[in-house]
Structure 1
Amino acid sequence: MLGRELGRGAAGRVYVAEDTVLARPIAIKFIANLDAGARQQFLVEARAVAKLQHPNVVSIYRVATLQDRPYIVTELVRGASLAELAKPVPWEAALDIAIGLARGLAAVHRVNVVHCDLKPSNVVIDHEGMAKIIDFGLARPITDRGTAGDTPAGTPDYMAPEVWQGEPPSRRSDVYGLGAVVFELIAGAPPFGKIAAADLRTRVISDDAPALRELVPQVDPELAAVVARCLSRDREARFADGGELRQALERLHASRRPSAQIGESPYRGLLPFEASHRGVFFGRRSEVDAVVERLRSDPIVLVTGDSGVGKSSLCRAGVIPAVVEGELGGAWHALTIIPGHLPLTSLAMALGDLALVPLLRETPALLARELRRHAGDRGLIVFIDQFEELITLGDPGEVAALDAGLATLAEG
């Protein structure tokens, strides 16, 4: 049963539908403007992708034709596309998304298919926080070296130089597209900005992509190097395929895991205390007790004081461990966020679900529901460190949504 239209583009239209046999929601994409030969090629390619089952790739349930119009039936991915996500995002979040995309792309390349249209709107973050590649309407087999048309396949901001020049897309052009998506997540705009297609073609073919660290100095240099390699004008200099890119990103992620500190001095001096320092955090028991007592009755407690007096240490090494260890009764766990420029995105990252960002922007009152869902059968204490960043640094739209959500919590 066909429902509302989800979206449309040059390649066709997508609708929400209901599988009445299995009683599940699905998505149906009708592919536009294909001649008989192209229709047959499309069906062959889509069936190849349909054999693929991977958590980072949308599942294809059926490929067929209706009145000579081919269509694809896929799972309906509930969540938000990267196009809907407020940008830029912290580079750590971009790295997590990139790893998921590279894993999905590696799986696609293993079945000898290229996606040909990697872009933010073709990546959805589902409600489990999983990045999924969707929309295989332009996909084609890697073995197809047929004549390239005058009009390149893809979306201009994410197309590789050789595709602009009319060459067939390849695994390496998909790698370029993924690199352009990650660049936009971190920098807030595609590599060459938003310019006319004719000017963009010249820039992409003639100029190197801007250095990510010149635009975002705080980005991890190794991640910036990976993105730069993806965006190389020389396709042979790029990662060979999604699998090679996945390995590079996973190595980078593994190298960032904190190593055990051997022989760390118990005397913190002027360093902040963390929860792991609970055993050496002394002298502020009365303050800890005061905050915990307030938490028994108040849904929100504001800890204030001059800069440097130890507000963060009090909460991290005193209040939070006390609550987690049972001083409020029952089982509790803690969630810590640092608001930064995108406070709502930081909260969504901590909850493991970036799809919450557009949801909470639209309906901030749902924050309480999402926090309860995250808590499960335990209590949840949320610590917003550097709360003043909501005023001094925050994106106005995200700040307004988070403020409204917190106000709902305060009202009980």
Structure 2
Amino acid sequence: MEAGKSKQRSTFVRWFEAFRRRVSSGSAPDSENRQNPAPDLTRVEITEEAKQRFAQVQDVFHQVLQVEPERRESALARLAPDPGVRDEVRELLGAHLEVGVLDELKHAFDRQGAFPEASYAPGARFAQYTLLERLGSGGMGVVYRAQDTRLGRTVALKFLSPALGSDPTAKQRFLAEARAAATLEHSNICTILEIGEFEGRLFIAMPYYKGQTLKELLRGGALGAAQAVPIAIGIGKGLAAAHASGVIHRDIKPANVIIRGDGVPIIVDFGVAKVAQQSLTRTGVALGTISYMSPEQTRGEAVDHRSDIWALGVLLYEMITGSHPFRGHTDQAVQLSILTADPESISPHLDGATGLEQVVQQALEKEADQRWQSVQEMVKALEQIRVGSVPAEGPSGPRGGLMRKGERRQVGVLTLLLGEYDDLVDQLTPEATEALLRQVRGAVSDTVTSAGGLVHAMTGDRIECVFGIPTAREDDALRAVRAALEAQRRCAGIQVDPSLGEDRSVTLRAAIDVGVVAVHLDPGEGGPYRIGRSLIERSARLASEAELGAVLVSAECHRVVRPFVEATEGPSVS
């Protein structure tokens, strides 16, 4: 067996050296005709013992790598009693310090500038667009929020890597397939407004969606089955429409799904990943995110719509559990997991969603023939699933993140009190009082909603707001602080009735507390949620002690936001 491994390794090295020489010389590796395919290393049978050994070696290697070089031997002896494991880790450490063929390839691409990034200052003009702010960047290019001066609308403008336009054939292929993607019309697919070229730069103009990517949403942890299933259904319906038109996404991942403010998922970057693979494969660049690749995709084989089904299964697993189904410290370890490992069961996270585990398992079958054969089939199965007593195909808006039976959530509660309310009621007519309250409540509601919060109740001089429902985020407390400050700023511009003969603006008292509360969907008409009152009342007591124009935060809230805001010690409130 050892001789077989050695022979296989030398075969791969010879193939890879030939590949590297062709790339370094500027020649294109013959990948499309596959006359010289890579040796098939993934078909070797791997025992369970070998998998465990591989995982142990990887784990020890990454731990030792964090230790200072002079202390690595002692750390290795402590972490790996098995001499064989120690020897393998030493080999990895030695290889890590050497410059290998992959490093040489990277340096070659760096020297050639394979991926220069478009860079424009906000305010710059590009065709009929004025760039407003940079939204983000990735391997494919950079995205800006921009103003279409011709039509007076806000758009997302994506500049693609110059490498895509350097080859006339690749450029024509990209434009042809991008135009095909532009013909897709579906409520869950990002509309392509324009595809073109300006000053030698290829670009795509798309609507600017207010919301956040699924990647950002997942930073707060698992969404749970009740919220994950409706999102997966929306993504699946978008993919079904694309597949019906012969378009395969090939790069479904959280960063390529935007969740709008109303909870509707929008798939972005349609067609780009497919074109990018075709035009860049000849330079030896492997595109895509390994964690969401199907087994056939990681092997470099031809892929079809069933790779999108696999990726949707990975997304659904991650939304339900908060973790990837296939994990590893390196891309090679992740690929091995994709090819050989079975993901951990999602049953502890199902919230009573009968049948959901079977849907996910079938989407993640290693062999494409064993998966759902169409995304319509998968969507139909998801629509039959009930989470708690709520049908999965029900509202995917603000109620979609909670079961009717309720759950406990970490939330931030912001309470705002209208300053000198009793005096205003005495001095203003009932109509003027109502008009003033409408202005204040409108300003606060807009501010809180824009910050990702929920206005829970508005009674008299009091406005209760909650951050963490329906979606929990790591920065909910900080969002509440910023919303409080912005609400005070906006309300300071609201003038009390001028007929009183004095220049007087609205002032607010504000307070924030954080903690765990019981949350239920409210079956009545009093509001979307029923929330435990203890934290809300505690926040209200804080607000009553705040000075006009000030924001009081609890000790727990201060601990969370202290690295980001300045604060002074306030009164003790029991």
Q: Answer whether TM exceeds 0.5 for this pair.
A: yes
* TM-score normalised by length of structure 2: 0.46
Q: Do the aligned residues in 2 keep the contact of 1:80 with 1:358 (CA within 8 Å)?
A: no
Match of 1:363 in 2: 479
Match of 1:51 in 2: 183
Distance 1:157 1:219 in 2: 27
Question: How many residues get paired?
Answer: 299
Partner SS for 2:332: helix
Match of 1:182 in 2: 316
The one-letter amino acid paired with 1:165 is R
354, 373, 383: which one pairs with 1:250?
Answer: 383
- C-alpha distance after superposition, 1:347-406 (max 9, x if no partner): 2x3xxxx5x85785542154898xxxxxxxx98585204868xxxxxxx99x969xxxxx
Answering whether residue 346 of structure 2 is matched by residue 230 of structure 1, we say no
Answering whether residue 236 of structure 2 is matched by residue 102 of structure 1, we say yes
Distance 1:380 1:218 in 2: 23
149, 153, 160: which one pairs with 1:24?
Answer: 153
Partner SS for 2:266: strand
255, 259, 265: which one pairs with 1:121?
Answer: 255
Q: Do the aligned residues in 1 keep the contact of 2:249 with 2:270 (CA within 8 Å)?
A: yes
Match of 2:27 in 1: none
Distance 1:167 1:387 in 2: 58
Instruction: Go from structure 1 to structure 2 and tell me whether the alpha carbon gap of 1:162 and 1:131 turns closer, same or farther (over 3 Å shift).
Output: same
- Greater shift, 187-196 or 46-55, is seen at 187-196
Distance 1:82 1:198 in 2: 25
Q: Do the aligned residues in 2 keep the contact of 1:31 with 1:137 (CA within 8 Å)?
A: no
Distance 1:13 1:202 in 2: 31
Q: Do the aligned residues in 2 keep the contact of 1:114 with 1:169 (CA within 8 Å)?
A: no
Partner SS for 1:101: helix
Query: What displacement does 1:249 show?
Result: 1.3
Distance 1:152 1:100 in 2: 29
Distance 1:129 1:167 in 2: 35
203, 208, 224: which one pairs with 2:342?
Answer: 208
- Greater shift, 59-68 or 85-94, is seen at 59-68
Match of 1:241 in 2: 374
Answering whether residue 206 of structure 2 is matched by residue 83 of structure 1, we say no
Instruction: Go from structure 1 to structure 2 and tell me whether the alpha carbon gap of 1:361 and 1:139 turns closer, same or farther (over 3 Å shift).
Output: farther
Query: What displacement does 1:233 show?
Result: 0.7
Structure 1 stretches of 4+ with a deviation exceeding 6 A read 146-149
The one-letter amino acid paired with 1:15 is Y
Distance 2:151 2:168 in 1: 32
The CA RMSD measured in Å over matched residues stands at 3.8
> Pairwise mapping of residues 365-404 of structure 1 onto structure 2 (< 5 A)?
365=481, 366=483, 380=527, 383-385=530-532
Instruction: Go from structure 1 to structure 2 and tell me whether the alpha carbon gap of 1:362 and 1:181 turns closer, same or farther (over 3 Å shift).
Output: farther
12, 25, 35: which one pairs with 2:141?
Answer: 12
- C-alpha distance after superposition, 1:77-99 (max 9, x if no partner): 11111111111112110111111
- C-alpha distance after superposition, 1:21-72 (max 9, x if no partner): 1111101111112232222111111111111121111111011122443211
Partner SS for 2:272: coil
Q: Do the aligned residues in 1 keep the contact of 2:327 with 2:337 (CA within 8 Å)?
A: no
Match of 2:20 in 1: none
Instruction: Go from structure 1 to structure 2 and tell me whether the alpha carbon gap of 1:255 and 1:38 turns closer, same or farther (over 3 Å shift).
Output: farther
Higher-Rg member (1/2): 2
The one-letter amino acid paired with 2:158 is K
Structure 1, gaps ≥5 residues long = 259-273, 275-297, 300-333, 337-342, 370-377, 389-395, 402-412
Query: What displacement does 1:211 show?
Result: 2.4
- Greater shift, 146-155 or 121-130, is seen at 146-155
Distance 2:261 2:475 in 1: 11
Match of 2:427 in 1: none
Distance 1:82 1:254 in 2: 21
Instruction: Go from structure 1 to structure 2 and tell me whether the alpha carbon gap of 1:358 and 1:126 turns closer, same or farther (over 3 Å shift).
Output: farther
Match of 1:41 in 2: 173
Partner SS for 1:140: helix
Q: Do the aligned residues in 2 keep the contact of 1:80 with 1:126 (CA within 8 Å)?
A: yes
> Pairwise mapping of residues 155-166 of structure 1 onto structure 2 (< 5 A)?
155-166=289-300
Q: Do the aligned residues in 1 keep the contact of 2:190 with 2:266 (CA within 8 Å)?
A: yes
Partner SS for 1:178: helix
Distance 1:361 1:75 in 2: 30
Distance 2:371 2:134 in 1: 37
Distance 1:200 1:18 in 2: 41
Distance 2:171 2:352 in 1: 44
Instruction: Go from structure 1 to structure 2 and tell me whether the alpha carbon gap of 1:186 and 1:81 turns closer, same or farther (over 3 Å shift).
Output: same
- C-alpha distance after superposition, 1:321-346 (max 9, x if no partner): xxxxxxxxxxxxx979xxxxxx954x
Distance 1:148 1:169 in 2: 17
The one-letter amino acid paired with 1:183 is Y
Q: Do the aligned residues in 2 keep the contact of 1:46 with 1:139 (CA within 8 Å)?
A: no
Match of 1:410 in 2: none
The one-letter amino acid paired with 2:222 is P
The one-letter amino acid paired with 2:169 is G
Structure 2, gaps ≥5 residues long = 1-129, 392-404, 406-416, 419-454, 458-465, 488-524, 536-555, 562-574
Distance 1:173 1:48 in 2: 20
Query: What displacement does 1:257 show?
Result: 5.0
The one-letter amino acid paired with 1:11 is M
Instruction: Go from structure 1 to structure 2 and tell me whether the alpha carbon gap of 1:137 and 1:71 turns closer, same or farther (over 3 Å shift).
Output: farther
Distance 1:184 1:361 in 2: 24
Query: What displacement does 1:221 show?
Result: 4.0
The one-letter amino acid paired with 2:227 is A
Partner SS for 1:74: strand
Q: Do the aligned residues in 1 keep the contact of 2:178 with 2:272 (CA within 8 Å)?
A: no
Partner SS for 2:177: helix
Partner SS for 1:113: coil
The one-letter amino acid paired with 1:8 is S
Q: Do the aligned residues in 1 keep the contact of 2:318 with 2:325 (CA within 8 Å)?
A: yes
Instruction: Go from structure 1 to structure 2 and tell me whether the alpha carbon gap of 1:97 and 1:65 turns closer, same or farther (over 3 Å shift).
Output: same
Distance 2:145 2:328 in 1: 31
The one-letter amino acid paired with 1:55 is S
Q: Do the aligned residues in 2 keep the contact of 1:30 with 1:70 (CA within 8 Å)?
A: yes
- C-alpha distance after superposition, 1:159-183 (max 9, x if no partner): 1110000013321101111111111
